[in-house]
């Protein structure tokens, strides 16, 4: 099977709510398609995300039901947990990072960011979802984070990042980089600047690099 065949079969399994079939396809991928690496992050980027995006487009065209979108999302959440490698506890100490979905209940992006960070040797805190900017700022300070990663899938949620950054700037605490991602930022690459985020990422796999460079810049800042 080519990677494209696997993607199509994976999408069909999700639409049939066939969790076992979807899991089996992910396991066969590294051996059936040499160019696709076995890492969880790559599987997510090459198979899970494109399949969900295709299902999302089919939903927008009216070709699949909301219940199928929902079940596909739930199945992928579980699969991500299975394929994410355990953290490398021997790695050098990593910065304290937290991940949250701000005023948003779309959880898959946040989950992928957590998985990728764990795979890269971080021990990220899952700060949850649905909370407002002031609550998230308070939690970030309580946890003494070095960087905060925010996932937002709805434009309204993405715009709330501006409030979050303003609250963090006013509270007198140390500079805290806020790194964002999610569909609204991918659709409009200028949006991250408009909401005053430190950086933004198109894919969860960029999270470790973005965290390290944002922290380096904030420590170098006067
Ligand atoms: C699945 C889905 C749902 C599921 C969510 C299941 C779950 N447990 O998460 C359900 C059915 C519950 C749902 C509900 C709703 N949804 Co919805 N949903 C989607 C859909 C189809 C796919 C989203 C998804 O999971 N994609 C897969 C994930 C993995 O992708 P991702 O989050 O973008 O993450 C990738 C990158 O963006 C990046 N990333 C993400 N976050 C971060 C963070 C950082 C720091 C970094 C570096 C990277 C990064 O990494 C990932 C890739 O590696 C999208 C359509 C779309 N095209 O996006 C609509 C969509 C997001 N939903 C939408 C809406 C409106 C809703 C509802 C309001 C619908 C309703 N009327 O009830 C509710 C609201 C829920 C809420 N309060 O938050 C709209 C938002 C429109 C807008 N512009 O604001 C969309 C765009 C659909 C549309 N076109 O109308 N939804």
Domains 3-83 and 97-220 share a fold: no
Which residue is listed with tokens 């969860």? 204
- Rounded CA-CA distance 217/202 in Å is 20
Q: Which of 25, 17, 3, 110 is nearest to 64 (CA)?
A: 17
pLDDT given for residue 40 in this prediction: 58
- Mean pLDDT of the region 29-38: 45
Of residues 162 and 69, more confidently modeled? 162
Quick one: pLDDT band at residue 42, thresholds 50, 70, 90?
Answer: low
Report the share of the chain in percent with pLDDT over 90: 47
- Mean pLDDT of the region 115-131: 85
pLDDT given for residue 34 in this prediction: 39
User: Given 3.40.190.10, 3.40.630.40, 3.40.50.280, 3.30.565.10, which CATH number is that of 97-220?
Assistant: 3.40.50.280
Which residue is listed with tokens 């960029």? 206
pLDDT given for residue 29 in this prediction: 66
Atom index in ligand 1 nearest the CA of residue 116 equals 53
- Mean pLDDT of the region 139-164: 96
- Rounded CA-CA distance 108/88 in Å is 23
pLDDT given for residue 53 in this prediction: 81
pLDDT given for residue 73 in this prediction: 85
Quick one: pLDDT band at residue 39, thresholds 50, 70, 90?
Answer: low
pLDDT given for residue 33 in this prediction: 41
How far is the centre of ligand 1, averaged over its atoms, from the C-alpha of 36 (Å)?
25
- Mean pLDDT of the region 159-188: 94
Question: Angle, nearest 10°, between helix axes 19-32 and 66-83?
Answer: 50
The pick from 101, 102, 106, 117 for probing ligand 1's pocket by mutation, whose C-beta has the most ligand atoms within 8 angstroms, reads 106
Q: Whose CA is nearest to atom 56 of ligand 1?
A: 56
Measured distance between the N- and C-terminal CA atoms of the chain, rounded to whole angstroms: 54
pTM of the model: 0.81
Q: Whose CA is nearest to atom 15 of ligand 1?
A: 106
Of 37-51, 52-66, 133-147, 201-215, give the lowest mean pLDDT range. 37-51
Q: What are phi and psi of 19, to 5 degrees?
A: -65, -45
Annotated domain spans of the chain:
3-83, 97-220
Each residue of 72-98: pLDDT tens digit? Answer: 888 887 887 776 555 554 555 678 999
User: Given 1.10.1240.10, 1.20.58.410, 3.10.129.10, 1.10.1040.10, which CATH number is that of 3-83?
Assistant: 1.10.1240.10
Q: Is the pLDDT of residue 30 over 70?
A: no
């Amino acid at each position: 099977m080519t990677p494209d065949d696997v993607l199509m079969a994976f999408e069909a399994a999700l639409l049939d709510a066939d969790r076992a079939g979807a899991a089996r396809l992910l396991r066969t991928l590294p051996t059936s398609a040499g160019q696709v690496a076995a890492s969880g992050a790559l599987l997510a980027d090459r198979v899970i995300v494109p399949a969900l995006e295709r299902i999302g487009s089919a939903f927008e065209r009216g070709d699949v039901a909301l219940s199928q979108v929902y079940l596909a999302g739930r199945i992928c959440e579980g699969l991500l947990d299975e394929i994410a490698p355990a953290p490398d506890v021997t790695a050098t100490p990593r910065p304290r990072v937290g991940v949250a979905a701000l005023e948003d209940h779309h959880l898959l992006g946040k989950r992928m960011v957590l998985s990728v960070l764990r795979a890269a040797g971080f021990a990220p805190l899952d700060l949850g979802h649905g909370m407002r900017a002031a609550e998230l700022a308070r939690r970030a300070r309580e946890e003494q984070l070095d960087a905060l990663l925010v996932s937002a899938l709805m434009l309204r949620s993405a715009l709330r990042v501006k409030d979050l950054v303003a609250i963090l700037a006013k509270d007198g605490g140390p500079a805290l980089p806020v790194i964002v991602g999610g569909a609204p930022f991918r659709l409009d690459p200028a949006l991250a600047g408009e909401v005053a985020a430190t950086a933004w990422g198109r894919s969860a796999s960029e999270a470790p690099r973005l965290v390290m460079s944002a922290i380096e810049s904030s420590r170098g800042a006067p």
